[in-house]
Structure 1
Amino acid sequence: MRKRGKIFGGLLAAVMLTMAPLGAYAADTGTGAAAAKQVDPISALTPDRIVQDLGVLKGDGDGVTDAYLAQRTTRLQAAILYLRLIGKEVEALAYSGTEGFADSMEAGTANRPVLAYLKAHPELGWNGTTAGRFEPNAPVTSQQMYKVLLEALGYSSGQDFAFKDTLAFAATKGLWQEADAASFANRNLAGALVEALQAMPKGGDATLGRKLADAGAIPGDKAAELEGSRVNAGKADDGTVYLTDGEGRALYLYTKDMATLDSCQEDCLANWPVFSADKLILSDGLNAADFGVHVRPDGTKQVTYQGWPLYYFIKDKAGDRFGEGIGGVWFLIKQPFYSAAIGTDDKLGNYLTDSQGRTLYYYDMDPSGTSVCEGTCLANWPAFHADSGAVPVGLNPDDFGEITRADGTKQTTFKGYPLYYFVKDGARGNLNGQGVGDVWFVVDPAKFDGTTAGKAQKG
């Protein structure tokens, strides 16, 4: 009883200290004091936005909505958008030839000249299906679309590639990102068109987009949007979704970039080259607001994701993930992004952060499954809560949970103990809450085994 009373008395004193006004004890510990350098905005567009800006994708009566982008693309619709892209739509609609496909009557009256035009111009790649039919209202497939785009790049079906090998051949020319679309929709069409516009025609010295801009088929000022570097959400065979560049090479974060964004230097950079770009083209589902650019001391513009600078791993090729978890400090940019991440400090080692690098703390007064931080304490140490999501390799998702606080709000827990921010941590990498009142500490995920109060609770 004497021992338990002594523990309780010490904890009570700590509570009184923690509940004191913030200015009475908050101080910069010097650990992680270097503020993260500024991350600037970066131009980041999606393929559907680019194709809209080029005047190719116009939508239906309500414009280019999410519902429109989700609609299956018909063969006739794909053909018209393709003709619009290369500046031939007006000519096709005004075509007066009468020889069409066997099923041209299935198209609306206004669009029948388009089918006759395609019939008269087989070099455009829209050669119909079997028995002289076009099947204008049938859904277009990725194989059919990529075949036409390859023709636009100067490759001939039957000579440069066989139709059955279309997708494999297209991948060698940089056209692959929409190949696996089970249901080819307008959004996939936009992505495939942008791929083709960024590709180099057969024997050419400029991209198809630049060629069309020079010919006046697309607006020259908008064609500059095609110069962005692709960022995709790649999916591995095991179901892991992670960020890649346009060639499918994995992108990583470095936990030592917590306090300063230039932690990787010299030999580190030789093994982990930066992902550099002036502008981006994002695949569907990625949020432009998550991306930025950090200018390194040598002037290199390094792309960031939620404040984390992005790197390659020198040993990776397209589809590889060999850098994942190396040294406990290199991690893939998984999607959805981590609900909690890891920071690394030279003195403290690894510690938990939120997804954007803000330090998380535990309160040594909290018993398991409960927060006793209320009122002024909570104002100084706001509760952390994140929806469930991915965690970096080395962390156990089962270690994370949540409690419902007295006011009904949710708070994330680690191994049953609530997690908090510190109000005076103004930037990622700040560790100003470490050791405050001798009851607030960062969470080393490998070493943390509970609070003093939690251990006393267990007896």
Structure 2
Amino acid sequence: MKTSWRSASLVASAAAVLVLTTACGQEKADTSTGTQNVGAAPAAGGYGTAGAGASPSTGTAAEGEGAVAQSAGQLAVADTDKLGEVVTDSAGMTLYRFDKDTAEPPKSACDGECAKAWPPVPASGAAAPIGIDKSLLGEVTRADGTKQLTIDGWPQYRFAKDTKAGDLKGQGVGGTWYASAPTGKKASAAGGSGGAAADLPGLSTRNDPELGEVVVDKNGMTVYRFEKDTPWPMKSACIGACLEKWPVVEPVAAADTKGIANKNDGRRGYVVLNRPDGLKQQSIDCWPLYTFAGDKKPGDTNGQGVGGTWYAISPEGKPLGKPK
């Protein structure tokens, strides 16, 4: 991975999500738990899991809580093949941002076990690379009183499972963690500033050459349905460690969609499931929606047909490519 410098301008953005509270076929929130062949509970709500759900290590000074106090030093911009330009610390370790944080005003939603898996980058000692506007750098006071580095308002983190310079193991974890571009946006190969995926609505569609029109989330990642779920009454059978591999799609306002067929057709299909684990999950045609941790970039369909139970979902809520 080679390192290059470039200028960046201050970019501010804001988004709002309307949380729906009804559920298909239910008078109240579903309280059943369902079944799944993986029974362990997800670690720290899935924050510390990558791919198949390995837990974070804290065995060295470069990982876990030991990395919290490590200054970022002179920041750098690394030019990567997959994501374009990403921000690194002085040791070449990738910096990440978290979708559940906010930039206006800056606020971190990662504490406790989450902060062990994603050590916050201290604001003290961090310096902007030559050629990058220093005004992009800032700080936010965390719940424990420490100061965390921000880029264009977004709190910055390292990932405990990145063990050497250039690692990008945190990219896409849980559908909420992404390498930071020099502007503070999500890094992407399309210009290093969030690319086309950053401009997508909460849910939309794309044309897959093999499956046809498939639903994608705000990051352009393929959305799936699980054949062990039930739409009436609506219930998810993906619990515990299953959620590490298949993160739920969080609520998306109907106005923040494009091409989703049943949002205004008079049916109660575009609603939110209040799960017994406390998560809220968007559905289409009463089928709960998921992404797949094994999909690493927009256009991936690595979850298609897994176990004969997971299928990309159509804008009408149908399973695509399912054998008849």
TM-score bucket (shorter structure): 0.3 to 0.5
TM-score with structure 2 setting the length:
0.39
Greater relative contact order, per chain length (Cα 8 Å cut-off, separation 6+): 2
Query: Which has more strand, going by share of residues?
Result: 2
TM-score with structure 1 setting the length:
0.28
Query: Which has more helix, going by share of residues?
Result: 1
